């Protein structure tokens, strides 16, 4: 079947299902959960609360075949230069399979580089690598932004129960408040600064890195500061210029994108926090998902199904935004991490061939940990005018035995997807009020406000416990989901030209902002803002 024909066929399935409420779909099929949930080890993906059925799923799987998702996936694993605009292979999968055989220049360095940065992590943790002035490194500050921040920051928080190394802090924003607040209370004599930047040219990171080096030097002297610096980058020329000693520079390769780099030395903050063994377990969990993605039959293949559900929501159910709600406090940074992973990857308006896309691409991704989210924006997800599909994530087991906290957390998670799917009809609402003795006039007035439309889709990912391997597999699952969506939209998920223009303009504007005068020819709004900021700077 051609891709166009498969797309049309999926559209017909969507039209058929749009007329049916999720209540009906569940009523028609008592086996719906069994039919539409999938397992990968202890990870359960429940798709039964999506607006899908066997017919729609079949059409989506046919669409994946017509788009040759399997062929595109193999091209990635074979190391073909699928990042067409930069002529690069895309082999983050190689970083979690150091003993595998990948075709990328430098691949042979993957295993020794991993051994090296994990050995360094262990040396810092044990005190074998220690501050020259004595004692230990009690604190590590990772300076990086985007992919050089979000992955390790998300993972370090996620694996808090495994922390037994130095305290790890993250600084990303060029706003001096970020560095100032992070360094407050830290002692330069016991602090290790990691400068993490794939390019080692990023304005924010290099500005923060210079200020942090000054902070070290103010107490330890220029010569003393060096031992407190390490760098992670693909640009070894620039790390040398910055003055980081070679033995503390950890490289990676241009065939690993920034937002896919937590598996490399960019993950050093995580290794420092949880140790080499747990870091290796994190990689092993991701590798297991890679193997599953490569070998599981399409109808059982979790990343493929998640990607197809993503396309279904976006292109056939017209959802323009998706919420990610982990009922797992330690995954609080997951939505931010997924924002970069998915929106920087698939926020594209032209196809790989450079033509305007004919269908909508990446939705807006946002979210917050539950139950907090219930008390802020869930009102809109339940009763707002837009339908916003939700990914729920939850662990069946807590790390801490703390009364009934965890069962309450789970009950809330399951209740939310239940309320979204089934809602509460006007008849049910009216009957409840009648039972409470409200007069008919009040019942009529309040019923529209108290009705829940339901029929709002969600997927729940449920796992035994958030351990390093499960975290690795969840991240790899979302990476491959993003890949599947890109394959169906025919966009290049591995470049990010859209972030360049703002960076260029900021560099051009900088002298004007310093002087308080926009460059000649600037538009009136920009000139007005520059002048107003200059005037406001004088007010205190
Ligand atoms: O501005 C976007 C971006 O290029 C991201 O893709 C990247 O993760 C981030 O900046 C940081 O880049 P670097 O690691 O080179 O400092």
Per-residue pLDDT tens over the stretch 148-187: 999 999 999 999 999 999 999 999 999 999 999 999 999 9
Q: With CA atoms as reference, report the closest residue to 420 among 446, 453, 373.
A: 453
Greater confidence, 156 or 236? 156
pLDDT 10s digits, 262-284? 999 999 999 999 999 999 999 99
Return mean pLDDT, the chain. Answer: 97
- Other CB atoms within 10 A of residue 298 CB: 16
Average pLDDT over residues 435-439: 98
**Is the minimum distance from the CB of 148 to ligand 1 under 6 angstroms?**
yes
Cα(517) to centroid(ligand 1), Å? 29
Asked: is 3-66+296-422+456-493 a CATH 3.40.50.720 domain? The reply is no
Nearest protein CA to atom 6 of ligand 1, as residue: 258
Cα(206) to centroid(ligand 1), Å? 12
Place of tokens 């008919």: 440
Choosing from 90, 143, 206, 258 the residue with most ligand 1 atoms within 8 A of its CB, the one to mutate for a pocket test is 258
Q: Which atom of ligand 1 is nearest to the CA of 147?
A: 8
Taking the C-alpha atoms of residue 290 and residue 36, their distance in angstroms, rounded to an integer, is 22
Choosing from 198, 259, 347, 482 the residue with most ligand 1 atoms within 8 A of its CB, the one to mutate for a pocket test is 198
Cα(257) to centroid(ligand 1), Å? 9
Greater confidence, 234 or 296? 296
Q: With CA atoms as reference, report the closest residue to 157 among 147, 167, 172.
A: 167
Cα(205) to centroid(ligand 1), Å? 9
Q: Which atom of ligand 1 is nearest to the CA of 496?
A: 6
- CA dihedral 91→96→97→103, nearest 10 degrees, is 10
**Is the minimum distance from the CB of 20 to ligand 1 under 6 angstroms?**
no
Taking the C-alpha atoms of residue 278 and residue 273, their distance in angstroms, rounded to an integer, is 10
Does residue 539 surpass a pLDDT of 90? no
User: pLDDT confidence of 124, banded at 50, 70, 90?
Assistant: very high
What distance separates the 2 farthest-apart alpha carbons in the chain?
82
In the CATH hierarchy, which top-level class contains the domain 92-281?
A: alpha beta
**Is the minimum distance from the CB of 493 to ligand 1 under 6 angstroms?**
no
pLDDT 10s digits, 472-527? 999 999 999 999 999 999 999 999 999 999 999 999 999 999 999 999 999 999 99
Cα(496) to centroid(ligand 1), Å? 9
Q: Which atom of ligand 1 is nearest to the CA of 259?
A: 8
**Is the minimum distance from the CB of 264 to ligand 1 under 6 angstroms?**
no
Q: How far is CA 262 from CA 114, 119, 165, 488, in A?
A: 12, 17, 18, 25
Does residue 540 surpass a pLDDT of 80? no
User: How far from the centroid of its chain's Cα atoms is residue 88's Cα?
Assistant: 22
The pTM score is: 0.97
The strand ranges marked E within 234-283 are: 249-251
Average pLDDT over residues 372-399: 98
Q: Which atom of ligand 1 is nearest to the CA of 150?
A: 8
Q: Is the peptide bond before 264 cis (omega within 30 degrees of 0)?
A: no
- The pLDDT of residue 105 is 86
- Other CB atoms within 10 A of residue 139 CB: 19
Cα(148) to centroid(ligand 1), Å? 7
Does residue 112 surpass a pLDDT of 90? yes
Residues 6 or more apart whose Cβ sits within 8 Å of residue 494? 82, 83, 86, 88, 90, 257, 345
Taking the C-alpha atoms of residue 179 and residue 184, their distance in angstroms, rounded to an integer, is 8
- The pLDDT of residue 331 is 98
Nearest protein CA to atom 8 of ligand 1, as residue: 147
Nearest protein CA to atom 1 of ligand 1, as residue: 499
Average pLDDT over residues 18-45: 97
Taking the C-alpha atoms of residue 37 and residue 49, their distance in angstroms, rounded to an integer, is 10
Does residue 27 surpass a pLDDT of 80? yes
Active-site residues, by number, are 344, 375, 503
Does residue 469 surpass a pLDDT of 80? yes
Average pLDDT over residues 112-137: 98
Nearest protein CA to atom 16 of ligand 1, as residue: 197
**Is the minimum distance from the CB of 205 to ligand 1 under 6 angstroms?**
yes
**Is the minimum distance from the CB of 457 to ligand 1 under 6 angstroms?**
no
Q: Which atom of ligand 1 is nearest to the CA of 144?
A: 16
User: pLDDT confidence of 103, banded at 50, 70, 90?
Assistant: confident
Percent of the chain with pLDDT over 70: 100
Rounded to the nearest 5 degrees, what angle is found at the Cα of 167, between the Cα atoms of 166 and 171? 125
**Is the minimum distance from the CB of 234 to ligand 1 under 6 angstroms?**
no
């Amino acid at each position: 079947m051609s891709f166009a024909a498969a797309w049309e066929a999926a559209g017909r399935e969507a039209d058929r299902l749009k007329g049916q409420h999720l209540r009906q779909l569940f009523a028609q099929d008592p086996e719906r959960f069994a039919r539409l949930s999938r397992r990968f080890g202890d990870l359960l993906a429940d798709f039964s609360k999506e607006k899908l059925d066997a017919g729609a799923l079949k059409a989506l799987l046919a669409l994946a075949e017509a788009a040759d998702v399997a062929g595109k996936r193999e091209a990635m694993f074979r190391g073909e230069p699928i990042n067409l605009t930069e002529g690069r292979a895309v082999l983050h999968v190689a970083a979690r399979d150091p003993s595998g055989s990948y075709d990328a220049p430098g691949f042979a360095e993957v295993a020794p580089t991993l051994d090296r940065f994990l050995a360094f992590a262990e040396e810092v943790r044990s005190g074998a690598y220690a501050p020259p002035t004595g004692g230990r490194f009690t604190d590590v500050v990772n300076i990086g932004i985007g992919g050089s921040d979000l992955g390790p920051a998300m993972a370090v928080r996620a694996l808090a129960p495994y922390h037994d190394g130095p305290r790890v802090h993250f600084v990303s924003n060029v706003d001096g408040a970020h560095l100032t607040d992070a360094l407050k209370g830290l002692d330069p004599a016991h602090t290790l600064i990691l400068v993490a930047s794939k390019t080692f040219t990023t304005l924010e990171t290099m500005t923060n890195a210079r200020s942090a080096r000054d902070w070290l030097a103010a107490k330890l002297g220029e010569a003393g500061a060096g031992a407190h610096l390490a760098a992670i980058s693909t640009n070894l020329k620039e790390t040398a210029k910055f003055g980081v000693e070679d033995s503390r520079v950890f490289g990676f390769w241009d065939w690993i994108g920034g937002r896919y780099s937590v598996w490399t030395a960019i993950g050093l903050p995580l290794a420092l926090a949880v140790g080499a063994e747990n870091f290796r377990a994190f990689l092993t969990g991701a590798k297991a998902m890679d193997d599953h993605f490569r070998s599981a039959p399409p109808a059982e293949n979790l990343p493929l199904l998640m990607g197809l559900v993503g396309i279904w929501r976006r292109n056939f159910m017209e959802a323009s935004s998706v919420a990610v709600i982990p009922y797992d406090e330690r995954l609080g940074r997951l939505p931010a991490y997924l924002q970069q992973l998915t929106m920087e990857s698939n926020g594209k308006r032209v196809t790989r061939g450079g033509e305007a896309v004919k269908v909508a691409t990446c939705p807006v991704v946002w979210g917050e940990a539950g139950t907090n989210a219930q008390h802020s924006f869930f009102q809109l997800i339940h009763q707002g005018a837009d339908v916003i599909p939700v990914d729920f994530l939850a662990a069946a087991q807590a790390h801490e035995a703390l009364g009934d906290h965890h069962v309450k957390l789970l009950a809330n998670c399951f209740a939310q997807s239940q309320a979204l799917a089934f809602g509460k009809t006007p008849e049910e609402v009216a009957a409840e009020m009648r039972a409470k003795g409200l007069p008919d006039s009040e019942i009529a007035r309040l019923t529209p406000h108290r009705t829940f439309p339901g029929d709002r889709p969600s997927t729940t990912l449920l796992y035994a416990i958030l351990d390093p391997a499960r975290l690795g597999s969840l991240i790899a699952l979302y990476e491959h989901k993003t890949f599947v969506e890109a394959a169906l939209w025919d966009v290049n998920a591995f470049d990010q030209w859209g972030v360049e223009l703002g960076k260029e303009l900021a560099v051009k504007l900088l002298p004007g902002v310093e002087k308080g005068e926009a460059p000649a020819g600037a538009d009136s709004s920009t000139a007005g803002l520059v002048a107003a900021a200059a005037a406001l700077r004088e007010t205190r």
